[in-house]
Amino acid sequence: MDMNRNRYFMIGVLLILLGVQFRMVDSFVLNEQTTRTMAKMSKKSNVVAQDSFSNFLMQVHPKPTKRVHPPRWLGLAMIAVGTVVSLHAIAMPRE
């Protein structure tokens, strides 16, 4: 597969849009299957914290879920890289 300027430009625009999305999101919640997979990969014995509020929530909502807070700089980094890739695509010669 040949990487021409159209593909570079599309990758850059997608990175910019993902970066904007990461800047707008404060946190997101993983589903039960992903939470269990991450717990197995990190080799932690507990999937959910063992405090009283978590025990109460487990009675109401028994599926363990994990809340992920992406770092603030991740969105800006994706926007910056996407901008550079898009500008590189514009500067490439046409074939």
Pair 34, 65 in one domain: yes
Q: Which domain holds residue 46?
A: 30-69
Q: Would you say the C-alpha torsion 72, 74, 75, 76 has a positive or negative sign?
A: positive
Q: Which residue has the higher pLDDT, 76 or 39?
A: 76
Percent of the chain at pLDDT > 70 equals 78
Q: Are 78 and 15 in contact (CB under 8 A)?
A: yes
Q: Are residues 61 and 78 in the same domain?
A: no
Instruction: Tell me: do 77 and 47 sit in the same domain.
Output: no
Q: Cβ(32)–Cβ(58) under 8 Å?
A: no
Q: Are residues 65 and 39 in the same domain?
A: yes
Instruction: Extract the tokens encoding 71.
Output: 């770092």
How many percent of the chain have pLDDT more than 90?
45
Helices 72-91/5-24 angle, 10° precision: 160
- Specify the number of domains making up the chain: 2
Interval 59-75 mean pLDDT: 80
Residue 54 pLDDT: 61
25 Cβ contact partners less than 8 Å away, ≥ 6 residues apart: 70
